Amino acid sequence: MAPLDDQKTTITLPPLPFADNALEPTISARTLSFHHGKHHKAYVDKTNELIKGTPLAGRSLEDIIRGAGDNKPLFNNAAQVWNHNFYWKCLSPKATKPGADLQSKIDASFGSLDALKEKLTKAAVGQFGSGWAWLIAKGDGLEIVTTSNADTPIAHGQKPLLTGDVWEHAYYLDWQNQREAHVKALLDKLANWDFATENFAAK
């Protein structure tokens, strides 16, 4: 699995990297059918509609995000495509753990993996309204940041390693208003530390 894949020329809806029911019970197949098959697909379709006939047609997803300028609908939809493409790779049905170099940096930045999870959960729960909680590489260390709505770290020159989606459509069918319980289960059971390790090594 390549870290931070560039999205070349055509903006498409990538298939999920696991079966629809592979993340149950933390994330149900029903949630994935709506989240991936409807929400994510709608962002892809709208992005393609908005770039058609413009100089951004045929450009990479990253170029579209950075070139959207004041076109908020384009930025929002393209950024949400990128965020979701990244998010699915942050989930794994099998247990993973950080590689040695990443674990060392986690220990130096947060004290332990459990402390990182606690801080990331707190950030995700504290994000007002819709948005994302991210673990990013910054300088010689790691940092936790949140973004509102469709905003994305790559629009700010940041290097994301892992993310959690705290839009309600990501968890409400399974967890209702229990955002904290959802985030904790996500980090304890589904976080793809192999992907985060690859991203860290490529920074």
Q: How far apart are the C-alpha atoms of 47 and 163, rounded to whole Å?
A: 22
Q: Are residues 175 and 109 in the same domain?
A: yes
What pLDDT is stored for residue 10 in this prediction?
76
Q: Are residues 191 and 157 in the same domain?
A: yes
Which tens digit of pLDDT belongs to each residue from 147-181?
999 999 999 999 999 999 999 999 999 999 999 99
The number of distinct structural domains making up the chain is: 2
- pLDDT at position 18 is 97
- One domain, residues 125 and 64: no
In 3D, which of 135, 76, 54, 79 has the Cα closest to residue 102?
A: 135
Query: Mean pLDDT throughout 70-76?
Result: 97
Flag whether the pTM goes above 0.85. yes
Average pLDDT over all residues of the chain: 94
**Phi, then psi, of 30 in degrees rounded to 5:** -65, -45
Co-location of 152 and 182 in the same domain: yes
For range 117-133, the mean pLDDT: 97
Please tell me whether residues 54 and 125 are part of one structural domain: no
Does a structural domain hold residue 6?
Answer: no
pLDDT at 9 over 90: no
Q: What percent of the chain has pLDDT over 70?
A: 95
Confidence of residue 184 (pLDDT cuts 50, 70, 90): very high
In a domain, 17, yes or no: no
State what percent of residues in the chain have pLDDT above 90.
Answer: 93
Average pLDDT over residues 26-35: 97
Co-location of 66 and 104 in the same domain: no
What's the pLDDT score for residue 110?
98
Residues 106, 193: one domain?
A: yes
Strand partners, 131: 148
Same structural domain for residues 152 and 171?
yes
Q: pLDDT for 78-116, tens place per residue?
A: 999 999 999 999 999 999 999 999 999 999 999 999 999
Q: Which domain holds residue 174?
A: 100-201
Q: Residues 112, 194: one domain? A: yes
The answer as to whether 10 is a domain residue is no
CATH code of the domain in which 150 resides: 3.55.40.20
